[in-house]
Amino acid sequence: MKLAKVAGTVVSTISAPTFDEQRLLLCDFLSLDGEAVGGYVIAVDVVGAGVGETVLILDEGTGARQIMEMKVAPIRAVVVGIVDDVDA
């Protein structure tokens, strides 16, 4: 998993019913110091994260489908948690 900060949302007509009720979050990857490192991912939100929050990103399809409790879903990245504390 990686740390990221929620930068915004994306609205897209997606050709899969899986996405119908899902928020898609734009997430900037962070260093351990909390600085943006220049990459991002668009992830499905399962924790209700808001813009500006630091989150944990899981970027693996099978695990993403499991956490969504869906066997069939064209998903790879998911916001799996809101980060409470980083002790590095």
Binding footprint of its own copies on the chain (CB under 8 A):
1-3, 7-16, 19, 24, 26, 28, 31-32, 40-43, 46-47, 56, 58-67, 72-78, 80-88
Q: For residues 18 and 74, is the Cβ–Cβ distance under 8 A?
A: yes
Residue 79 Cβ, how far from its own copies at the closest point, in Å?
Answer: 9
Q: For residues 70 and 20, is the Cβ–Cβ distance under 8 A?
A: no
Residue 21 Cβ, how far from its own copies at the closest point, in Å?
Answer: 15
Q: For residues 27 and 40, is the Cβ–Cβ distance under 8 A?
A: yes
Residue 50 Cβ, how far from its own copies at the closest point, in Å?
Answer: 13
